[in-house]
Amino acid sequence: MTPAQKNEAIVALKEKFAQYDNFYITNTESLTVDQISKLRRLCFEKNVEIKVAKNSLIKKALESFNDEKYADIYQSLHGVTALMFSDSPKEPALILSSFRKTNKEKPVLKAALIGSDVFTGDNELANLTKIKTKNELIGEVLGLLQSPAKRVLAALLHHHEGAAGATEEAAAPAEASAE
């Protein structure tokens, strides 16, 4: 690679890191060409961008941000590295988990940046699959907010029906005594 090509690659990586709040760093070294193609297809279907890059270029791109949050990632930059970029914090983890069911624990998760949190090591993959997306959290909050309101409405309706029934029962003896 010429110095100009390296600079172009660094600029392209910087743009990706700036564009996405979430990215995963994986080791795809032991995968076959066919397996890599399948992984790329899965990523494409789930709107996850996957890029293979040199570790030194990744490190230079991250260092250019001058941000302390990337410090824990540098130790993960060794071997063959594929980056997975996504708007969803857990979609790459779900892809890796499902892919690994048929590919014997490969690719290996080296690190992941979710927002400002860094997760390092392959043992974090299970935790990353459990992360709630923004839409899932909003749904849960709405469900929690609706739940008390539904209970109050149900109680009011039950009380109102009970009160109406009691009024009808009280009116029935009064009508009978008037006859």
110 and 39 fall within a common domain: yes
Q: What is the pLDDT of residue 54?
A: 95
14 and 63 belong to one structural domain: yes
Q: Are residue 69 and residue 157 in the same domain, yes or no? A: no
Which alpha helices (DSSP H) does 20-133 contain, by range? 33-45, 55-63, 91-100, 125-129
Residue-level pLDDT at 132 = 80
Q: What is the pLDDT of residue 148?
A: 74
Residues 149 and 127 in one domain: no
- For residue 136, the model assigns a pLDDT of 76
User: How many domains are there within the chain?
Assistant: 2
Say yes or no: 27 and 95 in one domain. yes
Are residues 157 and 73 located together in one domain of the fold? no
What would the two tokens of residue 139 be?
């749904």
Looking at residue 70, what is its pLDDT? 92
Please state, in angstroms and rounded to a whole number, the distance separating the CA atoms of residues 107 and 105: 6
State the amino acid at position 101 in one-letter form. Answer: K
pLDDT at 142: 77
**pTM (predicted TM-score):** 0.76
Domain of 83, CATH number, reads 3.30.70.1730
Burial class (CB in 10 A: 0-12, 13-18, 19+), 58: buried
Q: What is the per-residue pLDDT for 145?
A: 76
- Residue 24: which of 103, 128, 102, 123 has the closest Cα? 128
72 and 9 belong to one structural domain: yes
- Asked whether residue 110 falls in the same domain as residue 26, the answer is yes
Where the chain has pLDDT below 50, the residues are 167, 171-172, 174, 176-178
Give pLDDT, residue 163: 59
Residue 79 and residue 99 in one domain: yes
Question: Are residue 139 and residue 117 in the same domain, yes or no?
Answer: no
β-strands 82-86, 22-27: how paired?
Answer: antiparallel
User: Do residues 151 and 71 share a domain?
Assistant: no
Asked whether 128 and 119 are in contact (CB, 8 A), the reply is yes
Q: What is the pLDDT of residues 108-146, one digit of tens each?
A: 999 999 988 999 999 999 999 998 877 877 887 777 777
Residue type, 84: M
Domain residues for 113? 3-131
My answer on whether 69 and 125 are in the same domain is yes
